[in-house]
Chains A and B, each alone.
Chain A
Amino acid sequence: MKKEVQPIKRQPVPYLPDVIPQAILWRTIYCYALDPDRCEDQLDHFDCASYTVGNQLSFDLRHYDGHPDSTVTVYLPVETRDEAEIDEAVEVVLSGLEVPDSGVAWRRGEDFQFGKLPRRKEDRLREPEARLLALKIAAENKDLKATTAYIKKRIPEVIPLTEKDLEQSKSRPREKLWQQIVGNVISHSGTSKSIFKRGLASRTSDGIKVTQTGINYLKRVGFLIS
C-alpha cells in the first residue's frame, strides 16, 4: 500500500546546527526552495532551506560551494542515528518534496566512493516533475506568471539535463526531448493531471499563471514559506 505523502513546511528559521548528510540529489536547491538562505559554517559557505514535517522531523537542504554543481544534499539532525529511522525520514523527505527516484544520486545505506556521484541512467525530466517545475518557476515571479519561453529558459538552470533530455524529439523535430516535455505541460490542458485541470494554474496568452490553489500546493511541498 502506498504511504500517504506528508506535507512539508518550509521554515523561515536559521539552519539546523548539527546535521549529517543522508541523501544527495542531482537537482539544484532551486527546484525545492524559493530564495534559499545564504549561510556559512565551519566547512564553507552554503545555500540552505530548512523544513519540518509534522512535529517529528526537521531537515535541511543544502548546497555547499564545494559540492558538485547542480546537486543538493538532504541533511538530518545528528540525533537521527538509527538506520531504519534515517531510511524512513529520507523517504518522507523525498516523497514530500516529490523528488523522482531517478534524481537521487546517493542515499544513506548505499556504498560510495569519495568524489564519485554517478547519475542514474534513467534520470531525465518527465512530465510530473516538469509540471511542478513550471509552477515553481512561475511562482518565482511577483505576478506569478511565466511565459512558455521563460520556463524553457529557466529549466536548464534549475535541473541538470541528461543526455537523454538532450535527444531530439521524435514528434517535434526542432526541439529536444526536455523541451517537448515542457511544451506538453503547457499545452495539455485536458488531462486529469494537467496543472490547469487541477486548478493549480491558469492559462495566459503565452504561458501560465499560478492560482491560489497552486500557491497552496507549493506551500505543501515546501517550495514557499507558509
Chain B
Amino acid sequence: MRSLGPFHRKESPTQTRQIAVEQESSSEIWGATPKNGGMVPTVQAYPGNLPSCRGVEFSTDVSIHPGSCPIEARWYLGFTPGVEERKNAAGDIFACIPADVVNFQP
C-alpha cells in the first residue's frame, strides 16, 4: 500500500475493462490530454473508495497537484513532481503515476 489514497476511477469509455487489467499489471495509472484543445496530459480520479460500481481503486506515492479539490484528485505531466511521461503505440503522450491498483471491473 502506497502512502496516498485510496482514489478511484469508475468504469467508462476511457476506463475500460482492458485498461483496468493493464493498470493492475503495470502498477501505473495513465491520463490523456483533454479532448478538443486540451494542453496538459492529466491523471484524474475521485478520492476515496470506489462506491458501489465497477472501476479501479488505487494508491500512489505521488503527491496530488495543488489544483485538486475536495472531490477530485489530479496529477499533471510537467507540473506535478513525480508524474512520468508515457507514449502509446500511436505516439500519443500520457501522464503516468506509479500506483498500487485493485481491479473491481474484471
Show the binding face of A for B, using Cβ within 8 Å.
14, 17-18, 20-22, 24, 40-45, 64-68, 71, 73, 78, 105-106, 108, 112-117
Contacts and interface: CB of A to CB of B under 8 A. Distances in A.
Interface residues of B, number: 29
Contacts of A17: 34-39
Interface in B43-88: 44-48, 51, 67-74
B32 interface: yes
A14 B37 CA distance: 11
B93 interface: no
A45 B15 CA distance: 12
Contacts of B48: 114-115
A21 B73 CA distance: 10
Contacts of A20: 67, 74
Nearest to B66: A108
B18 to A, nearest CB: 15
The 5 closest A-B pairs by CB, nearest first: A114-B47, A17-B37, A21-B69, A112-B70, A18-B38
A54 to B, nearest CB: 21
Contacts of B25: none
A1 to B, nearest CB: 31
Contact of A78 (B12, B31, B35, B40): B40
B70 A114 contact: yes
A117 B71 contact: yes
15 contacts: A18-B34, A20-B74, A24-B69, A41-B35, A42-B34, A43-B9, A43-B72, A44-B10, A44-B12, A65-B10, A67-B72, A73-B69, A78-B40, A106-B69, A115-B47
B106 interface: no
A133 B73 CA distance: 32
B91 interface: no
A64 B13 CA distance: 15
A66 B35 contact: no
B26 interface: no
B12 A40 contact: yes
A68 B46 CA distance: 11
